[in-house]
Each structure stands twice: as C-alpha cells, then as structure tokens.
C-alpha cells in the first residue's frame, strides 16, 4: 500500500466497508463524480449481502464483495479476506460507512492511520460500543446537550476511540426529537465526510500527524 497518500493533489484510492443503506457512501461517490473529491472508489465490502450500499456500488460500476461470518466463519480468515480484497485493489484509504462490525487486527495493522469512520456526535461524548444510529441522538437529548455534531476519526481497536480528524457542530433545538436531530446530523455527515477526504487528498490534513 502506498503510504504517500497525503501528498498534495493526490488521488485517493478509496475502499469502503458498509452494513446498511450507504447514504454516506453515496455522498462520497457523488463528490468523486462531480470533481469535489479527488478520489477513485475501488471497492465496497459489506457484511450484509442485501445491503443498500452494495446496490449503490453496483449502480456506480464499483466492485463489490460480501464478506461476513457467513462467507468466512473463522474471524481470522474473514479478517484476512477483507484485508486482501482491499490490498489487491491498492486502496489507500478505507472509509467505514455505517459498518457495524469491528475490524480485525490484520486489516488495522495493514492500514494503520488510513481507516476513517464518521460518527453522529462530537466525540468523545456519546461514543463507544452500543452508541450508533438513533441511540446516539437519544443520548444527546437525554443529556440535555445544546450542541451535537459529526466527527470524522481514525479507527483503532476500540469503538469510536481513534484520534479526531475533523468535526462539525450541529445545534440541538429545544423541540428536537431523535428523528429531527438525526436528520440534521445526517445532512452534515454527507457534507463533512467527502470534505475531510478532500482535505487529505490536497494535503491540508496529514493523517500521520493527527493526535
């Protein structure tokens, strides 16, 4: 894998891991298509054979793979299969887009500081195992927070734990419900994820110096 992916004007070779509908995936694909992101989507991998993310990838003529406990019951073998699929296509950056599984040690080591995730809150608040989807927004409202937001962070061995790469705030309104807050936060996710990737491609963000 080419480690010089943060040089100015680099085209990022992107790999994706997704479990669901893939709206963040679509936002990144759209940004690549329109030229707002200097990215080359190479592959979308899902643990869910019926994931909408796979349909989005096929519609964009991007290679897809279903790799899960069903295809590879042994976790180490599954980890090796995911890692190999990404390496075989010379992926520079892995984007988690609603991926509901932990990555294995082989993939984490091979793509150290090159795996990104987007989280619908301002980490380190409201993160960790079990904090995903509507549960995050419910926690924000229960805590009485006046501000929520979106965090793009590096992925490590723990859920929502890696260093923050980029963040954007989203105000919490007094009459917000989980659904209304989630809608506004998701719209920001669709903006910040491709924008952060472009900052990496242009050299404005150097993943090797993020702490």
Cβ–Cβ contacts within 10 Å for residue 177, how many?
Answer: 12
Residue 3 has pLDDT above 70, yes or no: no
CATH number at 40 reads 3.40.50.170
pLDDT at 113: 96
Task: Name the band, by pLDDT with cuts 50, 70 and 90, for residue 9.
Answer: low
Cβ–Cβ contacts within 10 Å for residue 157, how many?
Answer: 11
Helix (H, G, I), strand (E, B) or coil at 65: strand
Beta bridge partners of 18: 46
Report yes or no on 182 lying in a domain.
no
Q: How many domains does the chain have?
A: 1
Report yes or no on 129 lying in a domain.
no
Beta bridge partners of 154: 116
Sequence-distant (6+) residues with CB within 8 A of 74 are: none
Task: Name the band, by pLDDT with cuts 50, 70 and 90, for residue 133.
Answer: confident
Report yes or no on 124 lying in a domain.
no
Report yes or no on 4 lying in a domain.
no
Report yes or no on 180 lying in a domain.
no
Percent over 90 (pLDDT), the chain: 89
CB hemisphere CA count around 30 (13 angstroms): 10
Report yes or no on 80 lying in a domain.
yes
Residue 4 has pLDDT above 70, yes or no: no
Q: What pTM value is reported for the model?
A: 0.91
Q: How far is CA 20 from the centre of its chain?
A: 12
Q: H/E element holding 201?
A: helix 178-202
The two tokens of residue 91 are 């992926």
DSSP state, residue 173: P
pLDDT at 159: 83
Report yes or no on 90 lying in a domain.
yes
Nearest CA among 131, 121, 116, 133 for reference residue 169: 121
Percent over 70 (pLDDT), the chain: 96
Whole-angstrom distance, CA of residue 78 vs CA of residue 86: 13
Report yes or no on 41 lying in a domain.
yes
Stretch 152-177: mean pLDDT, rounded?
95
The two tokens of residue 60 are 């964009």
Inter-residue contact 9 to 201 (CB < 8 Å):
yes
pLDDT at 130: 85
Task: Name the band, by pLDDT with cuts 50, 70 and 90, for residue 111.
Answer: very high
Residues making up the chain, counted from first to last: 211
Q: Per-residue pLDDT tens for 173-192?
A: 999 999 999 999 999 999 99
Residue 5 has pLDDT above 50, yes or no: no
Stretch 123-140: mean pLDDT, rounded?
92
Q: Point out the residues that are catalytic.
A: 119
Q: Which domain holds residue 46?
A: 12-118+152-164+189-204
Sheet holding 93-96, edge to edge: 63-66, 39-46, 12-18, 93-96, 115-119, 147-154, 164-171
């Amino acid at each position: 894998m080419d480690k010089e992916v943060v040089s100015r004007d680099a085209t990022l070779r992107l790999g994706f891991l997704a479990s669901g509908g893939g709206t963040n995936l679509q936002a990144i694909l759209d940004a690549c298509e329109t030229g707002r992101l200097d990215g080359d989507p190479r592959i979308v991998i899902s643990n869910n054979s019926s994931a909408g993310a796979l349909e989005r990838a096929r519609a964009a003529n991007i290679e897809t793979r279903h790799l899960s406990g069903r295809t590879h019951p042994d976790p180490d073998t599954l980890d090796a299969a995911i890692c190999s699929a990404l390496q075989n296509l010379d992926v520079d950056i892995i984007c988690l887009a609603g991926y509901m599984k932990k990555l294995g040690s082989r993939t984490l080591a091979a793509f150290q500081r090159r795996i990104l995730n987007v989280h619908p809150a301002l980490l380190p608040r409201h993160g960790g195992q079990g904090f995903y989807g509507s549960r995050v927004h419910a926690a924000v409202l229960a805590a009485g927070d006046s501000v929520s937001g979106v965090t793009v962070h590096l992925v490590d061995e723990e859920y929502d734990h890696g260093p923050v790469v980029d963040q954007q705030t989203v105000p919490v309104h007094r009459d917000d419900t989980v659904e209304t807050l989630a809608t506004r936060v998701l719209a920001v996710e669709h903006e910040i994820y491709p924008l952060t990737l472009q900052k990496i491609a242009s050299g404005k963000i150097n993943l090797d110096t993020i702490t």
